[in-house]
Amino acid sequence: MSSVLADLLSHSNDRVLTSSSLINHTRDSDLLNTLAAALKEIRKATEHLSLGGMLFRNEEHVLQAIRVIENHQAGRCFCQVYPGYLFYDPAAEEKAGHVRVTRSATSGWSMTYECACTICGHTYAVQEGEYHYTWWDWRGPKNAVSS
């Protein structure tokens, strides 16, 4: 059993949150395949955890990790999980080689970006915001093919 899977099944808040963060940013197909095979157990082990979070519910990090696993299992490009989760920084994603920032502009107190996935080419409009922490709202993909 992988250590990430063991962490998710551990019922330990710290271990579950740490592993969720790793999953939310990984592109490791072998790891995601292992986790997809155990998705039912992962859901069961994490569904009743009280993970806290004052400004943002920490459960959202676990739910995003499950979305990442489901997205991989369905064979979709990783970029499809950007919308709906506020912690994908376009600059960090570009540095990692996952997207290209094709345009950025200042809008009031925040930035707006247009990003293109380096794998599938889908583009996203991204609004940066800040309250007690910086967040990014990904919209799109703009050029997705509907099925």
CB 115 within 8 A of CB 134: no
Q: 12 lies in which domain range?
A: 1-75
Which of 46, 75, 104 is a domain's end point?
A: 75
Supply 53's token pair. 């979070």
* Amino acid (one-letter) located at 84: G
Split into its structural domains, the chain has a count of 2
Whether this model's pTM surpasses 0.75? yes
Which of 31, 59, 75 is a domain's end point?
A: 75
Pair (55, 2) in one structural domain: yes
Q: So what's the pLDDT on residue 145?
A: 47
Distances from the Cα of 50 to the Cα of 40, 62, 144, angstroms? 19, 11, 36
Q: So what's the pLDDT on residue 57?
A: 79
Pair (58, 11) in one structural domain: yes
Q: Which residues of the chain, if any, have pLDDT below 50?
A: 145-147
String of DSSP letters for 86-102: TT--HHHHHHTTSEEEE
DSSP 8-state secondary structure symbol assigned to residue 38: T
Pair (47, 88) in one structural domain: no
